[in-house]
Amino acid sequence: MASANTRRVGDGPGGAFQPYLDSLRQELQQRDPTLLSVAVALFVVLLTLVFWKFIWSRKSSQRAVLFVGLCDSGKTLLFVRLLTGHYRDTQTSITDSSAAYKVNNNRGNSLTLIDLPGHESLRLQFLDRFKSTARAVVFVVDSAAFQREVKDVAEFLYQVLIDSMALKNTPAFLIACNKQDITMAKSAKLIQQQLEKELNTLRVTRSAAPSTLDSSSTAPAQLGKKGKEFEFSQLPLKVEFLECSAKGGQGDAGTADIQDLEKWLAKIA
């Protein structure tokens, strides 16, 4: 019986130290009740500092900026322009490309730019691979071809936004309206309005479709506010739009119009 009682005293985490902790608490209360309050306050402060250090280290480890978009949207040329400042002929890729990028700010921070394939059969596969490290997503749109590609653009954008991991781990989301050097290019404002309409339609049709999820699956997140017309402002992450041109207005030898994109990257770094 004695050995059994001895085992019960030490059961559980820290059970063997509980008598000493109780004795210390009683002693502190007997000497000065305020001393216990101060000790508890210091402990809470210490715990808070540890928590914020953990959050900051997790945020600092997410340094990747993912460039996504349909084929021929110009994301690879944007990627090259940001890294080298020069024009280069590009082609549709079947794998990712990544490189360190030093942002233009006083802190001298650096990011890892990752250009993901835009082919329909590959883009979600590569997004799944890299999204956990993403600090931001740059969704590149071909502004000149937008009118005929709007449904495909909205479909892919819907899939990116609805991804629960992307919403949790992406503190910044940019829609870069590229190829503004072309006369027929649509403005960022018009592209935003058209995408909101298309995403609203997609949301309605998908919510009305029969669910194929089994009982063990988690239902997809709701895009926007239920019962209201979709707007990007309803999302739990800030979606920004800007206009840019990876090629520039003077042909291959011209200077790219990517200053706003560079400023955005410096802001989120």
18-31 helix and 33-61 helix, angle to the nearest 10 degrees: 120
pLDDT given at position 24: 63
Q: Provide DSSP, 31-72.
A: H-HHHHHHHHHHHHHHHHHHHHHHHHHHHHH--EEEEEESTT
> What's residue 174's pLDDT?
97
Strand partners, 141: 177
pLDDT of residue 80: 95
Chain centre distance of CA 9: 49
Determine the pLDDT at residue 227. 87
Q: Residue 88: which residues within 8 A CB-CB, separation 6 or more?
A: 77, 80
Local structure of 86: helix, strand or coil: coil
Calculate the alpha carbon distances from 185 to 7, 146, 197, 218 in Å.
Answer: 77, 8, 19, 40
pTM > 0.85: yes or no? no
DSSP assignment of 164-222: HHHHHH-SEEEEEEE-TTSTTPPPHHHHHHHHHHHHHHHHHHHHHSPP---TTSPPPPP
- Residues 6 or more apart whose Cβ sits within 8 Å of residue 45: none
What's the pLDDT score for residue 167?
59
CA proximity to 249, closest of 183, 176, 177, 175: 183
pLDDT of 92 reads: 83
- In angstroms, the CA 179 to CA 185 distance is 7
Q: Which residues of 199-223 are buried (b: 16+ CB within 10 A; e: fewer)?
A: bbebbeeeeeeeeeeeeeeeeeeeb
Q: What's the confidence (pLDDT) of residue 151?
A: 97
Render each residue's pLDDT in the chain as its tens digit; 269 residues.
444 444 444 455 445 666 766 776 666 566 656 655 666 667 666 666 554 444 444 444 578 999 999 999 999 999 999 999 999 888 888 899 999 999 887 777 899 999 999 999 899 999 999 988 899 999 999 999 999 999 999 999 999 998 755 656 667 999 999 999 999 999 999 999 999 999 999 998 887 766 544 444 444 567 888 889 999 999 988 999 999 999 876 666 678 999 999 999 999 98
- Bridge partner residues of 68 (DSSP): 139
131, 68 contact by CB (below 8 A): no
Q: Are 110 and 100 in contact (CB under 8 A)?
A: yes
Backbone angles phi, psi at 242, to 5 degrees: -150, 160
Q: Is 74 exposed, middle or buried (0-12, 13-18, 19+ CB in 10 A)?
A: buried
Phi, psi of 24 (to 5 degrees): -65, -40
Task: Report the C-alpha gap between 232 and 189 in whole angstroms.
Answer: 12
